[in-house]
Structure 1
């Protein structure tokens, strides 16, 4: 890909976000697209695979603060025409004849000449474009050396049970990624054969294209920037040097993890180009809800159905916990919905253990036997206290006011 082609790529549009999107917005957009386009979800769909690559490339740049800054600066400079009309003594001739060679800018700007470090910080242009276009700094052999870069971050998802989220669990993971072809070991040629030097770029991987008053140094179109030609491609990777493979690994999900939490596994992402460090792997944890327990921070919650007599007369309840059961004393006259705290029966996270919060809830029977109905009617007749005393008093007061006004 040429420098011009690179800066004209709209990574923001690729992810469907604006240029002012925050890091979280970019991450959210990428995660949704990556899930929909992932090769595991679209087996054999070449169009989805290409979109997945494009989305991953866009996220690799926009998720990195420095890369995003360099990308934005490069696009702004090029789009503004900052390099149009640059010429030498001839004032607009082609590169090599008094013109301006962008290749010189890419490789030599950081050496202190022209637009060097003294020009208000513009000395970073050599590094800026070198980082964007995978080109080495001054002195890079043939200008095609790739500087070490951190590998792309990867993301996967795992679903665990509620008890496992509280106690922690070890889970297997399957990561689909691009890896060096195991058949040709990254050469791209059929075993027993070798690539030959590209006759166009003579093995450098770069060619120079004149455009107006300046020239672009770009990957050779004949060899796609590799510097070599493969006459007999590898039957496994078809000359691409890499293949999609599934890597298996296991990881420990820590105790106390919550639904939707992302766990970072440092150095478990894709290998870094040019010998750079591996990227990171992020594991998004989904927790299956429990049929009995809920969760509020580090506290577990539990609702226990009770009868009216149990609340009125008092009782002892046996309630479950995630590790067994406990006895809970409910005093006489307990109101419906009251909460009881069982200390230390919640979630342990970072050395701190929460509690179990038990709520009592009166279960109103839908059907009554004749004996039960008679007993309730007898109770109602024997009950002298008015449970709605305040409301009754307010109603009487209002009725008296209405009668006084009428007279």
Structure 2
């Protein structure tokens, strides 16, 4: 009785591993046990065949689903994937390594052309908005210059009334192969340049590209709570793909203008507010404008020192795609008068005559320490 080794165990992967993890594990093992690196070693040859068989199954979503459900029984008695000789399986599997390493350089992978039509490029647009716009959210329009689908040929690249035909050189695959020893070298078809089709009569508007330069006006919806660097994606609004291939995406990068009053830290807004020394000493109340446009009363406790922070709950920025708002933190700065009237000076002189040192314990203690340090 033959014991079948689990495919995941062969590749050293968990059953929940994604395709990228499985492919990476296969490449390492296939390179390690490949016959060209282990000439005449039967054990390495057997391991290479086992690794290739495991990857041939797990790389295909349908085969993998069947294997996860039924195990090796899914491929017995003419099941899925049966019928291929071991030699062909090994050779095709190692071709996947070559494709993964050199595929982009060669202009497309196996089965390229129309089946792997290259989508258009993603584009970037930088937008500057105010902090108020970030707070409230807004809808705005932007104008971008981008290549779009050619209206004359509907993106096909062929002149109206004509159509592209399958490339006879590559049979529509977009790539041709040539065997060089053990390797199969794959490169873009020299006739269709990887498109898989040949256009006999190119469209006069786009010259066979299927796309032309256009100016588009797009609506951008900015949600409340966005921060500097927030990225908004507009699907399919990037560069059009050649000859009907899907378009790329347009990414809007937001930049928040510097605000006259507030500095932002996440959902918290910081503001600096100067107060008079009499308000700091006696206490009182000041008002500053909130980010929502409503005045915010700030209570000042008697004896407030410069640098004290007063936190206003819910006075900050909204949570992006969430509920509630952050806080507003007001940093109080006590301002000393620069000019005094004669009456004000008289009153302050009278106040100084009544000082006992308990009014300002920090300064009194500081000078007492200096006096002690200086030897009394």
Tell me the TM-score normalized by structure 1: 0.58
Q: How many residues align?
A: 305
Contact 1:160 1:286 in 2 (8 A): yes
Is the counterpart of residue 166 in structure 1 residue 135 in structure 2?
yes
Is the counterpart of residue 333 in structure 1 residue 308 in structure 2?
no
Change in Cα spacing, 1:354 to 1:399, as seen in structure 2 (3 Å) is same
**CA deviation vs aligned residue, 1:202-259 (integer Å, no higher than 9, x gap):** 6664444454565434332133133554455433322222334444332322211111
Compute the displacement of 1:333 (Å).
Answer: 1.8
Compute the displacement of 1:308 (Å).
Answer: 0.8
Choose from 302, 313, 320 the match for 2:289. Answer: 320
Choose from 192, 196, 219 the match for 2:188. Answer: 219
Q: Match for residue 49 of structure 2?
A: none
Choose from 359, 362, 377 the match for 2:334. Answer: 362
Q: Match for residue 222 of structure 2?
A: 253
Q: Which runs of 5+ in 1 are unaligned?
A: 1-64, 86-105, 137-142
Secondary structure in 2 matching 1:157: strand
Contact 1:149 1:275 in 2 (8 A): no
Change in Cα spacing, 1:308 to 1:172, as seen in structure 2 (3 Å) is same
Compute the displacement of 1:176 (Å).
Answer: 5.1
Is the counterpart of residue 351 in structure 1 residue 320 in structure 2?
no
Q: Match for residue 96 of structure 2?
A: 125
Q: Match for residue 7 of structure 1?
A: none
Is the counterpart of residue 397 in structure 1 residue 340 in structure 2?
no
Contact 2:309 2:330 in 1 (8 A): yes
Change in Cα spacing, 1:161 to 1:153, as seen in structure 2 (3 Å) is same
Compute the displacement of 1:163 (Å).
Answer: 0.8
Distance in 1, Cα, partners of 2:144 & 2:303: 58
In the TM superposition, 1:9-158 aligns within 5 A as 112-114=84-86, 122=93, 125=96, 133-136=108-111, 144-147=113-116, 154-158=123-127
Choose from 385, 394, 399 the match for 2:357. Answer: 385
Secondary structure in 2 matching 1:260: coil
In the TM superposition, 1:173-192 aligns within 5 A as 173-174=142-143, 177-191=146-160
Change in Cα spacing, 1:248 to 1:203, as seen in structure 2 (3 Å) is same
Distance in 1, Cα, partners of 2:88 & 2:365: 84
Compute the displacement of 1:340 (Å).
Answer: 2.0
Distance in 1, Cα, partners of 2:99 & 2:172: 25
Distance in 2, Cα, partners of 1:249 & 1:228: 33
Q: Match for residue 43 of structure 2?
A: none
**CA deviation vs aligned residue, 1:295-346 (integer Å, no higher than 9, x gap):** 2332222221111111112222122112311333323222222222333322
Q: Which runs of 5+ in 2 are unaligned?
A: 1-17, 38-55, 61-80
Contact 2:146 2:213 in 1 (8 A): yes
Distance in 1, Cα, partners of 2:121 & 2:23: 17
Distance in 2, Cα, partners of 1:221 & 1:181: 25
Compute the displacement of 1:261 (Å).
Answer: 2.1
